[in-house]
Amino acid sequence: MNAALQHPKPAAERALSYYSASLNEETHYPTLQGEVNVDIAIIGGGFTGVATAVELAERGYKVAIVETNKVGWGASGRNGGQVTGSLSGDAAMSKQMRQWLGDDVDDFIWHLRWRGHDIIRNRVEKYGIQCDLKFGHLHAAMKPAHMDELKASHEEAQRRGMGDQVTLLDAAGVRANQGSDIYCGALRNTRNMHLHPLNLCIGEAKAAESLGALIFEHSEVLDIVHGERPAVVTAKGRINASQVLLAGDVYHKLERKQLKGMIFPAMGGIVTTAPLGELAQQINPHDLAVYDCRFVLDYYRLTGDGRLLFGGGANYSGRDSRDIAGELRPCIERTFPQLKGVQIDFQWSCAMGIVMNRIPQLGKLSQNVWYCQGYSGHGVATTHIMGEIMAEAMSGSLEKFDTFARCKHIKVPLGDLFGNPMLAAGMWYYQMMEKLR
Ligand SMILES: Cc1cc2nc3c(=O)[nH]c(=O)nc-3n(C[C@H](O)[C@H](O)[C@H](O)COP(=O)(O)OP(=O)(O)OC[C@H]3O[C@@H](n4cnc5c(N)ncnc54)[C@H](O)[C@@H]3O)c2cc1C
């Protein structure tokens, strides 16, 4: 591991990653003890919980976030940091929502796809959050068949007045943007962004705190008490509230009767190399985040201190890989032969919540207890979109929430047993289909 990182020591309870080793500042919040009264209690200190808390606190609500581990401990603090204009499940969403939105569905989804970018950009600016926010993505084609998808995205962007922010590149165009020969084309998008997700999550929690929100760490919620004034209960305390939001994504085991079999873990692995010095400029001169068009894809970008952060190959069996660097090194060296033998300083993995039809799951467990989860690997922007939608809903504007809550989801019977094997089989099928494309 590189000794040059001069950052505060991460708390021992944080999973070791490049992100936890390069925190701006470690924060410590108390364990919940005794009884607390607030307007809204939020379970989970990831982007869903924290972004919703900021929205609600800005609207004047007294909010409390309750987190089992530390703020940003889950996928929000360990992901690829790519802010994409995809909600995951766009196609399934469009098919279902067309039944109640008619042709307005196309505008609804298009505007929503970019809403998360605006929220993040404005929040970073408003609260002065240092999170290495940068603009620019390449969505890269690995074979000619992938170009159809990119051409369709390019045409849609032009039709929607976003033509100045997208450029379709051929193989030579990609090489001018990227020190790699493996792509036959790409869509360059200057609206998409990339960032240090843990610094963003902690920065947003601090923003919520500055607006009066209470934050409790090391406080696993063991039960939700439903009723006129619901409550969340931990081993040492209880929060009574007017409303509760369950935002634990794939990590919570609450409300099994209603939520069992709806969301499944896939393990994603990421590595970062040692700082690359001048090589960083050679392999990625415009500091773009890159992801390819395959169903199980590689994605990468440079960190603020010039390392290659490279992720890929999610494991849909739900089991963790023990040798992430061993799995990802061949992918790095195939993409950038000039990095052969490069030193890998950090490797980590994390579970992301996958939903069968890929549509984010928003709903109510009782009159005043809500849930929001399941972004299937596209959560950085989407959590912020859903945070806004949930805050609107909890303050009485239900229109967008209802649009999502009406979507039908596949609930796998005996989900704990069969969910991941089904997911793995589905992924295998899609990978086979892709090979035939
Ligand atoms: C390896 C990897 C790479 C990814 N890359 C990208 C990317 O580049 N771009 C992108 O858009 N998305 C990406 N994602 C997806 C994205 O990170 C997630 O969709 C998103 O962070 C989910 O946020 P969340 O707040 O809902 O859940 P999480 O961040 O997982 O937070 C849930 C929190 O709830 C807490 N919790 C659970 N149960 C309880 C309980 N009972 N009591 C109290 N607290 C509880 C957990 O401890 C956890 O901290 C990636 C995910 C992974 C794993």
Is the pLDDT reported for residue 436 higher than 70? no
Residue for token pair 């990119």: 150
Single out the residue of 36, 38, 23 nearest to residue 70, CA to CA. Answer: 23
- Of all atoms in ligand 1, which is nearest to the CA of residue 71? 49
The pLDDT value recorded for residue 15 is: 87
Judge if the beta carbon of residue 415 lies within 6 A of ligand 1: no
Judge if the beta carbon of residue 332 lies within 6 A of ligand 1: no
> Half-sphere exposure of residue 179, counting CA atoms within 13 Å on the CB side?
19
Mean pLDDT over residues 149-161, rounded? Answer: 96
Judge if the beta carbon of residue 355 lies within 6 A of ligand 1: no
Q: Are 263 and 281 in contact (CB under 8 A)?
A: no
The pLDDT value recorded for residue 87 is: 83
Classified as helix, coil or strand, 423 is helix
Mean pLDDT over residues 349-373, rounded? Answer: 96
The pLDDT value recorded for residue 12 is: 77
- Residue 315 pLDDT grade (very low, low, confident, very high; cuts 50, 70, 90): confident
Judge if the beta carbon of residue 350 lies within 6 A of ligand 1: yes
Q: From the CA of 353, how far away is ligand 1's center (Å)?
A: 7
Amino acid identity for residue 402 in this structure: D
Task: Name the least confident of 51-60, 274-283, 413-422.
Answer: 413-422
What is the β-pairing status of strands 63-66 and 82-83?
unpaired
Phi, psi torsion values for 37, nearest 5 degrees:
-120, 125
- Residue 98 pLDDT grade (very low, low, confident, very high; cuts 50, 70, 90): very high
Percent of the chain with pLDDT over 90: 85
The residues, any chain, with a CB within 8 Å of residue 338's CB and separated by 6 or more, are 179, 279, 282, 283
Mean pLDDT over residues 377-388, rounded? Answer: 97
142: exposed, middle or buried (C-beta count within 10 Å: 0-12, 13-18, 19+)? middle
What are 269's strand-pairing partners?
A: 312, 349
The pLDDT value recorded for residue 434 is: 61
> CA of 288: how far to CAs of 85, 194, 297, 344, in Å?
15, 8, 16, 20
Q: Which among 249, 267, 347, 373 is the best mutation to test ligand 1's pocket, defined by most ligand atoms within 8 Å of the CB?
A: 249
The pLDDT value recorded for residue 412 is: 82
For residues 208 and 124, what is the distance between their CA atoms, to the nearest angstrom?
A: 13
Q: From the CA of 352, how far away is ligand 1's center (Å)?
A: 6
Higher pLDDT, 12 or 120: 120
Q: What is the mean pLDDT of the chain?
A: 93
246 CB neighbour count, 10 Å cutoff: 25
Task: Name the least confident of 80-94, 99-113, 127-141, 148-162.
Answer: 80-94
Judge if the beta carbon of residue 43 lies within 6 A of ligand 1: yes
Is the pLDDT reported for residue 324 higher than 80? yes
The residues, any chain, with a CB within 8 Å of residue 295's CB and separated by 6 or more, are 427, 430, 431, 434
Is the pLDDT reported for residue 216 higher than 60? yes
Mean pLDDT over residues 61-74, rounded? Answer: 98
The pLDDT value recorded for residue 286 is: 97
Is the pLDDT reported for residue 415 higher than 80? no
- Of all atoms in ligand 1, which is nearest to the CA of residue 380? 11
Q: From the CA of 93, how far away is ligand 1's center (Å)?
A: 21
- Return the structure tokens found at 291: 């992801």
Judge if the beta carbon of residue 73 lies within 6 A of ligand 1: yes
Mean pLDDT over residues 59-70, rounded? Answer: 98
Judge if the beta carbon of residue 251 lies within 6 A of ligand 1: yes
Per-residue three-class SS string for 320-369: CCCCHHHHHHHHHHHHCHHHCCCCEEEEEEEEEEECCCCCCEEEEEECCE
- Of all atoms in ligand 1, which is nearest to the CA of residue 250? 30
The pLDDT value recorded for residue 160 is: 96
Is the pLDDT reported for residue 246 higher than 70? yes
Judge if the beta carbon of residue 87 lies within 6 A of ligand 1: no
Higher pLDDT, 302 or 316: 302
Judge if the beta carbon of residue 361 lies within 6 A of ligand 1: no
What is the β-pairing status of strands 243-246 and 40-43?
parallel
Is the pLDDT reported for residue 350 higher than 70? yes
- Residue 422 pLDDT grade (very low, low, confident, very high; cuts 50, 70, 90): low
- Of all atoms in ligand 1, which is nearest to the CA of residue 348? 1
For residues 224 and 254, what is the distance between their CA atoms, to the nearest angstrom?
A: 8
For residues 213 and 403, what is the distance between their CA atoms, to the nearest angstrom?
A: 29
Phi, psi torsion values for 84, nearest 5 degrees:
-105, 160
Is the pLDDT reported for residue 312 higher than 70? yes
The pLDDT value recorded for residue 3 is: 44
Mean pLDDT over residues 326-336, rounded? Answer: 96
Sign of CA dihedral 167, 170, 174, 176: negative
Q: What is the DSSP letter of 228?
A: S
The pLDDT value recorded for residue 88 is: 80
Mean pLDDT over residues 109-120, rounded? Answer: 97
Single out the residue of 299, 400, 415 nearest to residue 353, CA to CA. Answer: 415
Mean pLDDT over residues 343-349, rounded? Answer: 96
Is the pLDDT reported for residue 275 higher than 80? yes
Q: From the CA of 159, how far away is ligand 1's center (Å)?
A: 34
Mean pLDDT over residues 17-28, rounded? Answer: 96
What are 311's strand-pairing partners?
A: 270, 299
Residue located nearest, by CA, to atom 45 of ligand 1: 44
What is the β-pairing status of strands 289-292 and 134-141?
parallel
287 CB neighbour count, 10 Å cutoff: 16
Is the pLDDT reported for residue 2 higher than 60? no
What are 189's strand-pairing partners?
A: 137, 166
For residues 188 and 290, what is the distance between their CA atoms, to the nearest angstrom?
A: 9
Single out the residue of 241, 261, 214, 257 nearest to residue 67, CA to CA. Answer: 214
The pLDDT value recorded for residue 241 is: 98
Judge if the beta carbon of residue 374 lies within 6 A of ligand 1: no
Q: From the CA of 75, how far away is ligand 1's center (Å)?
A: 3
- Residue 426 pLDDT grade (very low, low, confident, very high; cuts 50, 70, 90): low
Is the pLDDT reported for residue 50 higher than 80? yes
The residues, any chain, with a CB within 8 Å of residue 179's CB and separated by 6 or more, are 282, 283, 284, 285, 336, 338
Mean pLDDT over residues 122-133, rounded? Answer: 98
Residue located nearest, by CA, to atom 21 of ligand 1: 76
The pLDDT value recorded for residue 414 is: 64
Task: Name the least confident of 137-141, 194-198, 280-284, 294-298.
Answer: 294-298
